[in-house]
A and B are shown apart, each in its own frame.
Chain A
Amino acid sequence: MDFGFTINAPRAIYLDKMDPVLRDRVIARERTTLLCIGCGSCTATCTAGQFTPFSLRKVQHLVRRGEYETAKKSLKDCMLCGKCRMVCPRGVNTRAVIHVLLEIL
Chain B
Amino acid sequence: MTQERILVIGGGVAGMQAAAALREEGFEPFIIEKEKAAGGHVARWDRLFPTQLRAQEVIDRLSAGAEGIGSATGCEIVSVLPEADGVTAIAADGQRFEGRAAVVATGFDLFDARFKEEYGYGMYENVVTSAELERMFREGRVAMRSGEAPKRVAILHCVGSRDEKVGQNHCSKVCCITGIKQAIELTEAVPGVQVTNFYMDLRAFGNGYEELYRRSQVEHGVTYVRGRISEAGETLDKRIQLKVEDTLVGRPLRLTVDMLVLLVGMRAPGCCSSFGLPTQENGFFAPRDPYVETVASPVRGIYLAGTATGPKTIGETVNEALAVARRIKRDLAK
Q: Tell me which of B95-103, B156-164, B293-301 binds A.
A: B156-164
- Chain A interface size, as a band, is 20 to 34
Q: Which residues of B contact A (CB under 8 A)?
A: 118, 158, 162-165, 200-201, 226-231, 243-247, 250, 252-253
The verdict on A39 contacting chain B, using a C-beta distance below 8 Å, is yes
Judging by beta carbons under 8 Å apart, are A39 and B228 in contact?
A: yes
Per-residue contact bits, chain A 15-55, to B (CB 8 Å; 1 contact, 0 not): 00000000000000000000001111111111001100001
Q: Is the CB of B164 within 8 A of A41?
A: no
Whether A91 contacts B247 by the Cβ 8 Å rule is: no
Chain B residue contacts of A49, Cβ below 8 A: 245, 252
Please, how many angstroms separate the alpha-carbon atoms of A104 and B310 in the complex?
42
- For the complex of A and B, list the 9 residue pairs with the smallest distance between their C-beta atoms, beginning with the closest: A40-B245, A44-B230, A43-B245, A40-B247, A45-B230, A39-B228, A40-B227, A91-B164, A44-B245
How far apart sit A32 and B118, CA to CA, in the bound complex (Å)?
23
Do A50 and B252 touch across chains, with their CB atoms under 8 A apart?
A: yes
A76 within 8 A of B: no
Report if A87 contacts B (CB, 8 A): yes
Whether B250 and A37, one on each chain, are in contact in the complex, defined by CB atoms closer than 8 angstroms, is no
> A41-B228, A41-B230, A89-B164 known; 11 other A-B pairs, CB under 8 Å?
A38-B200, A41-B227, A41-B245, A42-B245, A44-B227, A44-B229, A44-B252, A45-B243, A50-B252, A57-B247, A87-B231
A90 contact from B164, B250, B253, Cβ within 8 A: B164
A42–B200 alpha-carbon span in the complex (Å): 13
Question: What are the interface flags for A84-98 relative to B under an 8 Å C-beta threshold, 1 for contact and 0 otherwise?
Answer: 000111110000000
Residue pair B163, A89 in contact (C-beta under 8 Å)? yes
- Most A CB atoms within 10 A — which of B245, B247, B253? B245
Measured CA separation A46–B244 after assembly (Å): 10
Confirm or deny: A72 has a beta carbon within 8 angstroms of a beta carbon on chain B. no
**A65 lies within 8 A of chain B by Cβ:** no
Residues of A within 8 A of B201 (CB): 37
**Given A87-B230, A89-B158, A89-B228: A57 touches B245 (CB 8 Å cut-off):** yes
- Chain B residue with Cβ nearest A89: B163
**Please, which residues of chain A bring their CB within 8 A of the CB of B245?**
40-44, 49, 55, 57
How far does the Cβ of A46 sit from chain B's closest Cβ, in whole Å?
A: 7
Shortest Cβ distance from residue A86 to the other chain B in the assembled complex, whole angstroms: 8
Cβ distance B293 to chain A, nearest Cβ, rounded Å: 31
